[in-house]
Structure 1
Amino acid sequence: MSFDLVIFDCDGVLVDSEALACVVHADVLTAYGYAITAAQVHERFLGRSAREARAQVESEMGRVLPDEYTDSLRSTIDRVFGEQLQPVPGIDDVLAGLTQQKCVASSGTPTRIRSSLTTTKLIHHFGEHLYSALQVERGKPAPDLFLFAAAQMGVDPARCVVIEDSIHGVSGAVAAGMTVFGFHGGAHCGPSTAGALQATGAHLVFCDMRQLPALIEAGAPGARAFDPA
């Protein structure tokens, strides 16, 4: 089938941020009394909003994190991203060449999404079509954000393809009735990432963003175990 809208996750799909963010998140949580490693942050919170991750941490700690926690996390990420954040290789040319409508649906805050895309000089590809989990009741893995994005863009969910790198994102896109392509080319991805995305329901997986235009034109294959590496 053909698609009318391409919905991109931001972190790990447009910008190669997840490895950086996991280290920062782990360091700040540990400093506030919740000992955790970057690998554990990756496993437990990748693809989820900071709001939901914080709620889970506070539940496990049995206390509320202080107000300055959020400011500390935000300021540290701002500094690290400003110094080190890079776009996913090939994504600028891919976005420039797509003929379909496109938008972003991310678990990040609206400010974070815009900042990351501005830093990496990708913001002009999307204009105001940036949608955040803060705009819906439930973030990923619920389908709310993807359905909201499709509604804002005026496109039937069945005509949307979602590009995701996390199992929470894949779950949400599948629940929304959309086709989902699992991307495992980010710095945070490991040998098991492709299989995990497939097992969660990705219609195909790929590791080089420059392959995306051809994959979109080909549509979703019948089999899920496909990686055009």
Structure 2
Amino acid sequence: MSFDLIIFDCDGVLVDSEVISCRAHAETLTRHGYPISEEKVLERFLGVSDREARQIIERETGRELPDDFEAQIKEATLKFYAGDLRAIAGVAAAIDAIDLPKCVASSGTPEKIRHGLECTGLYHRLSPYIFSASEVRRGKPAPDLFLHAANRMRAAPGRCLVVEDSIPGVTGAVAAGMSVLGFHGGSHCLQGHADKLRDAGVTVVFDDMRELPDLVRKAAQKTGPIAGF
């Protein structure tokens, strides 16, 4: 088997942003009467789009959040990005070492994805092949975003390899019929995160981006798309 496309998640895979994003969400939600810690945001909403997280919270509380809630989240996140955001260690070299088409499929908004990649110097490596959950009806854990990315890149789902760090992301990639590598090297990944990825269906996990090019080569030698190849 060989691959025609590598699909990267963004937050927690390309940029070490999940802790920052959770801080922004926790502060904004608490301000609007939904007290929640950064840790709880991470536990409940890792890999979930802002749109779907909002729907979950509104169902729980029985009331609507402000119309500009997503804009408030975005403003808080970008404020923290300016001083705190870093690329995942080794990811730039890993991207450069993989001689295959690549794209991004992220739950973030287009503006957030672009800003994060620009802040970390990764945008030019992956642009313009960047796809957001805002482009599909259902975000992760549905397979829609991955299938949309594959379609836009003219790759068959069974010949795509996804690099994901979240359970919703892994679930969506597996449902799309794609092979998956589970990354657990972001600062948000606590002890046991690798086991959670395995429980979601990934068989190969790693925590150092320097390993990625070799893992892609090994995956290309396997037969048939399965989770974690």
Give TM-score scaled by structure 2 length.
Answer: 0.94
**Structure 2 counterparts to residues 1-229 of structure 1, below 5 A:** 1-219=1-219
Contact 2:133 2:139 in 1 (8 A): yes
CA distance in 2, matches of 1:176, 1:119: 30
Contact 2:146 2:176 in 1 (8 A): yes
Q: State which drifts further: 58-67 or 25-34.
A: 58-67
User: Runs of 5+ in structure 1 lacking a partner?
Assistant: none
Q: How many residues align?
A: 225
Amino acid at match of 2:177: G
- Point out 4+ residue stretches in structure 1 off by more than 2 angstroms: 67-72
CA distance in 1, matches of 2:118, 2:178: 28
Contact 2:201 2:227 in 1 (8 A): no
Amino acid at match of 1:56: I
- 1:81-115 Cα distance to aligned partner (Å, 9 max, x none): 11110000001111112101000000001111111
Q: State which drifts further: 59-68 or 190-199.
A: 59-68
Contact 1:198 1:225 in 2 (8 A): no
Q: Cα offset for 1:67?
A: 2.4
Q: Cα offset for 1:66?
A: 1.4
**RMSD of aligned alpha carbons:** 1.6
Q: Cα offset for 1:68?
A: 3.8
Contact 2:170 2:180 in 1 (8 A): yes
Contact 2:50 2:70 in 1 (8 A): no
Give TM-score scaled by structure 1 length.
Answer: 0.94
CA distance in 1, matches of 2:202, 2:137: 24
CA distance in 2, matches of 1:143, 1:52: 15
Identity score, percent: 51
Q: State which drifts further: 71-80 or 133-142.
A: 71-80
CA distance in 1, matches of 2:71, 2:137: 23
User: Runs of 5+ in structure 2 lacking a partner?
Assistant: none
Contact 1:105 1:149 in 2 (8 A): yes
